[in-house]
Structure 1
Amino acid sequence: MSNHSILDALIAQTKISKKQTDKQQKIVETAVKIFAEKGYANTSTSEIAKDAGVAEGTIFRHYGTKDNLLLSVILPFIKESMPTMAESVFNEILNKDIASFEEFLRALLRNRLQFIKDNKEIFQIVVKEFLYNEGLRNELSPYFTKNIVGRMHKMIEEFKERGELVNLPNEAIAKMIFTVIGGYFISRFVLWQNQPDTNEEAEVENIIQFIMNGITNKSQGN
């Protein structure tokens, strides 16, 4: 599922979920289906209400806003799916016979870039909520640490043992990498999303070289 639409996966999940009332279940199923068909920005709460056979006020009463409606579905899905998604991403990358940390980093960046492009509207909503909602950060951070940070530490340690990376704590190296790559995704898809198209390949290479020039073991081969 690494490069597929999250909304497509959500459609399947909402059909088997029984954690809500029948009316809420119908609202969620309808909303996710229309989001997937028309895009989040092009879907109105009135349209969701009409197709779900409920009053628009019912949606506001249960969820407050369209953003909250999506978050009520996507956040449990993220927590439940993160282990499988993380394993799938790393396995997909490592199956490409990665020979260096730079190749690993390039494959990871391209993989996640495509994933975010496929799920841009969801990414924008989750990031905005994550930045301003401390409770949400506290809720999701352990899942991120357990399923993604741990795997990154393992990769860093492997390439440190090969002599490719500087002798800094794995946590410090991982934090620098996530800061640069995460900052790039946020700036491109949230802060400056309306800028003209740029040379994506050039951007990727610039980021890779920026990171590698800071963490590469300069004494290697001397």
Structure 2
Amino acid sequence: MTYNNLLDSMIAEAKRSKKQTEKQQKIIETAIQLFAEKGYANTSTNEIAKQAGVAEGLIFKHYGTKENVLRSVILPFFKSSLPGMAEEVFAEVLPAETTTFEEFLRAFLYNRIQFFSENKQILQVVMKEIIYNESLKKELLPYLANEIRYRFRKAIETFKTKQELKNIPTDDVVNILLSVLGGFIISRFVIVDVDRIHEYEVEQLIQFIMDGIRQNDH
């Protein structure tokens, strides 16, 4: 399964759920589409109900609040799909033994920038809620980080054995990379809300990182 179109993947996941009635699936499907189109804050439960063809009271009966509707969208999808998504990304950006760390870093950045660009609306909703919703952050952020951290550790250990990187503890390198790369992409697409990231920005970031962790003789 590919996850390039995140909105379609989330809707497909909702439809596959055997724990929900047909009306609940319609509520979730409609909520995903409206959150992506209008943003979470600008979408009301009344609007979700109207477009889903159900009574608003049914939403409150099953979910209680709009926040719980969002949680019913985000948590099941990412918990079931994130391992496959992470595996897919690293298979794409780390394809060969001859890849250098700089090539891997560049491929990873451009891959994730393209993914965010193509799924900007729904990812803005997800990321903003993770940033500002403490309960959602506590439940989902460690899970997100761990799935990505595990694969980054493997990649970094590989490049350290090739003596491309300084002898910095692997976990420290992972923490720095996740903070810098995640902060760069999220700040542009979520906080600043740009339509695209320029190539020169990416290359400056890559050189900034490489200057800090590259072995001096590389």
Q: What is the CA-CA distance between 1:169 and the residue it aligns to? A: 0.4
C-alpha distance in 2, partners of 1:117/1:198?
A: 7
C-alpha distance in 2, partners of 1:147/1:56?
A: 37
Which letter does structure 2 place at the counterpart of 1:77?
F
Aligned 8 A contact 1:3 1:115 in 2: no
Q: What is the CA-CA distance between 1:24 and the residue it aligns to? A: 2.4
- Matched with 1:215 is 213
What per-residue deviation string (whole Å, max 9, x for no partner) do you get for residues 34-87 of structure 1? 449x7244866444322322233543563523x653332122100111111111
- Matched with 2:101 is 101
C-alpha distance in 2, partners of 1:198/1:126?
A: 19
C-alpha distance in 1, partners of 2:163/2:185?
A: 29
Taking a change above 3 Å as real, the CA distance of residues 178 and 146 of structure 1, as seen in their structure-2 partners, is: closer
Unaligned 5+ segments in structure 1 are: none
Aligned 8 A contact 1:93 1:104 in 2: yes
C-alpha distance in 1, partners of 2:48/2:132?
A: 27
What per-residue deviation string (whole Å, max 9, x for no partner) do you get for residues 164-183 of structure 1? 11101001011111111111
Which letter does structure 2 place at the counterpart of 1:30?
T
Aligned 8 A contact 1:2 1:89 in 2: no
Instruction: Give me the CA root mean square deviation.
Output: 2.7
Q: What is the CA-CA distance between 1:136 and the residue it aligns to? A: 2.7
Taking a change above 3 Å as real, the CA distance of residues 159 and 97 of structure 1, as seen in their structure-2 partners, is: closer
Matched residues, number: 215
Taking a change above 3 Å as real, the CA distance of residues 101 and 131 of structure 1, as seen in their structure-2 partners, is: same
Taking a change above 3 Å as real, the CA distance of residues 45 and 136 of structure 1, as seen in their structure-2 partners, is: closer
Aligned 8 A contact 1:3 1:114 in 2: no
Which letter does structure 2 place at the counterpart of 1:14?
A
Pairwise mapping of residues 1-222 of structure 1 onto structure 2 (< 5 A)? 4-32=4-32, 34-35=33-34, 39-41=37-39, 45-59=45-59, 62-65=63-66, 68-95=68-95, 99-193=99-193, 200-218=198-216, 220=217
104-113 or 94-103, which deviates more:
94-103
> How does the TM-score come out when normalised to structure 1?
0.83
Which letter does structure 2 place at the counterpart of 1:86?
A
Aligned 8 A contact 2:3 2:9 in 1: no
Aligned 8 A contact 2:102 2:210 in 1: yes
C-alpha distance in 1, partners of 2:145/2:196?
A: 32
Aligned 8 A contact 1:6 1:119 in 2: yes
115-124 or 152-161, which deviates more:
115-124
**Identity value in percent:** 52
C-alpha distance in 2, partners of 1:214/1:13?
A: 41
Taking a change above 3 Å as real, the CA distance of residues 162 and 18 of structure 1, as seen in their structure-2 partners, is: same
Taking a change above 3 Å as real, the CA distance of residues 16 and 2 of structure 1, as seen in their structure-2 partners, is: closer
Which letter does structure 2 place at the counterpart of 1:156?
I
Taking a change above 3 Å as real, the CA distance of residues 114 and 96 of structure 1, as seen in their structure-2 partners, is: farther
Taking a change above 3 Å as real, the CA distance of residues 77 and 31 of structure 1, as seen in their structure-2 partners, is: same
